[in-house]
Structure 1
Amino acid sequence: MKRAGVLGHPIEHSLSPVLHRAAYAALGLDWHYDRHDVPEDGLSAFLESCGPEWMGLSLTMPLKQTILSMCDHVEPLAEVVGAVNTVLLQTSGRVRTVVGANTDVHGIVAAVREAGYVAPDGRRARAVVLGAGATAASTLAALGELGITDASVLVRSLARTGSLRRAAHRMGVEPTFGRLDDAPAVLADADLVISTVPGTGGDAVAEGIAARGAEMPGLLLDVVYDPRPTPLQSAWLSLGGTSAPGERMLLHQAAEQVRLMTGHPAPLGAMSDALEAELAARA
């Protein structure tokens, strides 16, 4: 039996096992995938404990940057973003190679395109990113793949944007930075908004745009998927905008992980059905 799993802290609510197990079943693979609660200071030991049966790891917070120094090779996209959410464990004889990759960028691009995003005619598209963590760095790379170079980043604290600014510099982009308090005015002019703020962090933005009452004609991707819809999505839709559900980003990034780990095209339909069933059951 080959093994893979998702690591993070906390990890008990991760939906990755649902997605990967559905993929293995559809592909007829005898693989095992589970959650593992691993804090930053336990990642090295966990990695060392993985035997030759281990094929790959999915990483969530707070491990996406911690893993960088433990990889033998980091794929160019993950290196420029500065975040690894996928680890491939490649064994040849007694030699094991740890490869770091990033599928979050793929997940964001796929979810946005699936939701029907179309670049505006006759002018450059305007995008706004909420948050400054590892997912925000992946978002800037995703915007580049979508052909969007005009981006603003809104954060709680400008003093904590150093890592994202360095990632942006590696990508050759220079987004403008502002505070989340300014979101109601800034978002009204955006063609695409991607919120990477975890948990209930987007609730204050939702209250702000609802109170302002201005039309929000753009497309919103909120990476949070619990509850469905999030308060930010609900406020956005009530003001005329369109929305890409956060679980679609989760689905597409996991599908790319399955492809990288198994070498098989991901059975997207089976994975999507399993995800929807699990979310409905949790609701």
Structure 2
Amino acid sequence: MSAQKRRAAVLGSPIAHSLSPVLHRAAYGELGLGDWSYDRFEINETALPEFIGKLGPEWAGLSLTMPLKRAVIPLLDEVSETAAAVEAVNTVVFADDGRRTGDNTDVPGMVAALREHGIEQVESAAILGAGATASSALAALARICTGEVVAYVRSDARAAEMRQWGERLDVAVRTADWADAKEALGAPLVIATTPAGATDDLAGSLPERPATLFDVLYDPWPTTLAARWSAYGGAVVSGLDLLVHQAVLQVEQMTGCASAPLDAMRRAGERALAER
């Protein structure tokens, strides 16, 4: 399908753990893009401008992870409405004329992952954590949540940030102290955006019939909370679900193919995680 060799890659620091090469290469294989390659590069904020400035015309796009999602914005010619809303770019696409366009596929990826599990709309939700992923979660909830979102955070500064994001995204956000996070577990949808181990202590406080947990982690998996949630009969959406759905959108934008192979990409991700 490809007339010339094309390149793409994921950038970040640390980057060795990234599953993006596995997912994108699986997509290229299914799509018959034999001349496409996808790599990973350890790049921090300081090195990013020089790296992007040296890229040649063979480059189709970049995936970005922490700490580059905000740092890349000044280097771009255009930023999508979604990426601008959360001040985070995880996808850069290079046009034939060299223009650099940034987008955020995490937000629609979250919505798609929830939809795949039958969650089209919720009356309220809870977010555990207040980092960069939490802002994307709020943007996703702006599309599917009709009522209040309660964010459980560890500091007043984080609480203020989440309320500001809520105002910006037109989401009704109430903040609560992390010490009360067990109260979140009865929400129709709980989105855990915290680092590994942060929610382990909550696993012993689940209600008899929990609803839906979206835990953005994928390695190690399942988390203690996700495992207990499933044991209690609740629905669980994993970080791999998110990773695959956002990668599908990246592949489609970078290659111009109308439909990336979701199932093949998921299988490749599952195999890679099983081998770790």
Matches of 1:63 and 1:251, distance apart in 2: 20
1:92-111 matches, cutoff 5 A: 92=97, 96-111=98-113
SS in structure 2 opposite 1:66? coil
1:65 to 67, 70, 76: 70
Q: Deviation of residue 196 (structure 1)?
A: 1.0
Report the residue type matching 2:91 in the other structure: T
1:3 to 4, 7, 14: 7
1:109-258 matches, cutoff 5 A: 109-117=111-119, 119=121, 125-188=123-186, 190-206=187-203, 210=204, 212-258=205-251
Q: Deviation of residue 233 (structure 1)?
A: 0.3
Question: What is the identity percentage for the equivalent residue pairs of Structure 1 and Structure 2?
Answer: 48
* 1:117-169 CA distance string (max 9 Å, x none): 2546xxxx110011112211111111122243410111122313455443332
1:64-83 matches, cutoff 5 A: 64-83=69-88
* Residues 127 and 148 in structure 1, CA contact (< 8 A), matched pair in contact too: no
Matches of 2:137 and 2:93, distance apart in 1: 22
* 1:92-122 CA distance string (max 9 Å, x none): 2xxx2111100001111111111222546xx
Report the residue type matching 1:158 in the other structure: D
Matches of 1:118 and 1:157, distance apart in 2: 31
Q: Scaled by the length of structure 2, what TM-score is found?
A: 0.92
SS in structure 1 opposite 2:7? strand
Matches of 2:167 and 2:190, distance apart in 1: 21
* 1:148-193 CA distance string (max 9 Å, x none): 34101111223134554433322122301112221112322x0001
Q: Scaled by the length of structure 1, what TM-score is found?
A: 0.90
Matches of 2:45 and 2:234, distance apart in 1: 38
1:16 is the counterpart of 2:20: yes
Give the aligned partner of residue 265 of structure 2: 271
SS in structure 2 opposite 1:3? strand
* Residues 181 and 205 in structure 1, CA contact (< 8 A), matched pair in contact too: no
* Residues 185 and 206 in structure 2, CA contact (< 8 A), matched pair in contact too: no
* 1:68-92 CA distance string (max 9 Å, x none): 2221111011101111111111232
**Number of residue pairs aligned between Structure 1 and Structure 2:** 270
Matches of 1:31 and 1:237, distance apart in 2: 39
* 1:47-82 CA distance string (max 9 Å, x none): 112111111110111111111222111101110111
Cα distance change, pair 9–28 in 1 and its aligned pair in 2 (3 A): same
SS in structure 1 opposite 2:196? coil
Matches of 1:72 and 1:118, distance apart in 2: 34
Report the residue type matching 2:48 in the other structure: L
Q: Deviation of residue 198 (structure 1)?
A: 2.3
* Residues 12 and 68 in structure 2, CA contact (< 8 A), matched pair in contact too: yes
SS in structure 1 opposite 2:172? coil
Cα distance change, pair 107–271 in 1 and its aligned pair in 2 (3 A): same
Gaps of 5+ in 1: none
* Residues 12 and 42 in structure 2, CA contact (< 8 A), matched pair in contact too: yes
